[in-house]
Amino acid sequence: MRSGVWLVVGLVVGIVAGAAVGVLLGGATAQPTTTVTLVTTQTVTAATPGVKMSPLEEAILNGTYWSRCVFCAMLINDTKYAALVVLKGGHAVRTDDIGCIFRVALLPPEKWKALRNYPAEEVKRLVQVERVFVPDYHTGEYVEAQKAFYVIRQDMKTPMGDCVLAFKSREEASKINATVYTYDQMLQLYKQVMEKTGMPMPMWCRGEMRGDQHHQYNHGS
């Protein structure tokens, strides 16, 4: 492989095995807990004569889609809303808006705006999403997207105009808005938008959301 910057996400998973500890302490039992910490590092690969990377390979490895959204190509200026997308093989790319993770989930990579100029087969081969993490709005801590909780605040604009904020806990999310959504419920809202407009691009920051949509999954506070 020729020289290039590899963006590698180190996934450190600490598991406190309560049951095992309980045995050591005399039989007491407890539920195991898991803490996930994401550590981003950069390493430089050695040059391999005669081996030429494709433009998409270079873009992934040189950090193009670390500084720009892998879905829409928008420059990432505010990391408060930047979600982390881990591809098969461990390379990390980002989105500029939490809303983009739902577009990523609903559309095949060859239809992502940022990747349309690359050969479709190359996109399919190199862009295979394994895991997605979103930043907690208050702490910035990365949380697995499917385990996070989401709210829509039309008065809190995000880079793409989705007005979607992510939280590690339902309790913290409910302090921002009484209507709290799970990942699957948010995905369903984006599907509804796509069915009506052809693209999962809501304009919720502009107030374009019907009341029945916003309260369809109301869980209260």
117 within some domain: yes
Question: Locate tokens 């479709």: which residue?
Answer: 120
Q: How many domains does the chain have?
A: 1
In a domain, 220, yes or no: no
Question: Tens-of-pLDDT digits for all 221 residues of the chain?
Answer: 343 334 444 444 332 333 332 333 334 333 333 344 454 444 334 345 556 889 999 999 999 999 999 999 999 999 999 999 999 989 999 999 999 999 999 999 999 999 999 999 999 999 999 999 999 999 999 999 999 999 999 999 999 999 999 999 999 999 999 999 999 999 999 999 999 999 999 988 875 544 334 433 333 32
Q: Give this prediction's pTM.
A: 0.75
Domain enclosing residue 187, as ranges: 5-214
